[in-house]
Structure 1
Amino acid sequence: MSDLIVLGFDHVDDAAKVLTECRVLQKEYLLDLEDAVVVTRDAQGKVHLHQSVNLEKAGASWGLLSGGFWGALVGLLCLNPLAGFLIGSAVGAGAGALSGKFSDYGIDDGFIKQLSDTIPPNTSALFILVRKSQPEKVLADLSQFKGHARILQTSLSPEAEEKLKAALGQVAAAQAKA
């Protein structure tokens, strides 16, 4: 089962920096991300979602290939495979992009938009869906962002959430407030 972690940041570019570090950890096989979304809110209050998986592009690519194949096959039967390939490719790419636009993968977009409405202007948030990880090594690496991130929401166990708070420097801040 995957775990959802939502981190908030005081600067617009901090969430992208943490996602870049998570991708480095993923290349080292310490973290397995299912989905990640960087959310920024500009000075005017407009929310921007930056999805890590572009479903429109993936759908268009797949549609181009499959449409081209089937178009060439039908065109071959009609003695004009080139026209069939071109028409099939165009129709397939359009249909694939359209299906990708209306698809949702990983973290629910409605949930992202709902939680994103709570972040203040000129800040950012990082939504990550983690399949599996090496928690000790990941937390040690993410401790470089101590004091820059705060946990907005998580599906982690209470013990794992406390370890994440400690790595991000939130435990000391919470104890100081008490």
Structure 2
Amino acid sequence: MSDLVAVLFDDEHTALEMRAELAKLQKEYLIEMDDVVVVTKDAEGKIKLHQAVNLTAAGALSGGFWGMLIGMIFFNPLLGLAVGAGAGAISGKLADIGIDDKMMKDMAESFQPGNSALFVLVRKMTADKVLDDLKAFAGKGKILRTSLAKDKEDELRKVLEA
């Protein structure tokens, strides 16, 4: 089972920096994330989701491959590639894996312009090492929501909201 952690920042860049740090920790096998999304609200109040994986591009790539393969069977690989890529892009655009986009957008409505938030779906982690590494972000974030156990949430608050 995965745990959701949402952290709010006063600027648009700190959430992106923390996502990069978590990606580095994942490469070191200290944290395993199912999804990680940065949500920004610009000065005009426009909300943007910065997904870690572009599902539209992935769908187009996968659909293009399968379309070309099927097209080769029917002696028209270019048409198969085009149809497959289009269908894959549409299915990727409509797919929503991981953290619910609507929930993130609804929460972002309450942000001040220029704010950002990091939403992370954590499968497992080595908590002491991850929290120690996140001390560089001390005092920069505020916990919006978590599904962590109370003691782990308190540890995270102590590190980020110090």
Give the TM interval when normalised to the shorter protein.
Answer: over 0.9
- Once the two structures are superposed, the pairs formed by residues 98-177 of structure 1 within 5 Å of their partners are 98-170=90-162
Give the aligned partner of residue 68 of structure 2.
Answer: 68
Runs of 4+ in 1 over 3 A off after TM superposition: none
* CA-CA distance at 1:161 after TM superposition: 0.2
Once the 2 structures are TM-superposed, how far is the Cα of residue 169 of structure 1 from its aligned partner?
A: 3.3
| CA RMSD across the alignment | 0.7
Q: Secondary structure of 2:44's partner?
A: coil
Q: 1:156, 1:38 → 2: CA distance? A: 19
Aligned residues: 162
- Partner amino acid for 1:8? L
TM (normalized to structure 1)? 0.89
CA distance in 1, matches of 2:34, 2:49: 17
Q: Show the 5 A alignment for 1:3-152.
A: 3-75=3-75, 84-152=76-144
CA displacement 1:45-70 (0-9 Å, x = unmatched): 11111111111011000001000000
Q: Give the distance between the partners of 2:2 and 2:54, measured in 1 at CA.
A: 20
% identical aligned pairs: 48
User: 1:131, 1:26 → 2: CA distance?
Assistant: 11
Separation in 2 of the partners of 1:104 and 1:161? 27
Following the alignment from structure 1 to structure 2, what is the Cα–Cα distance between the partners of residues 151 and 12?
A: 16
Gapped runs of 5+ residues in structure 2? none
Structure 1 unaligned segments of length 5 or more: list them.
76-83, 171-178
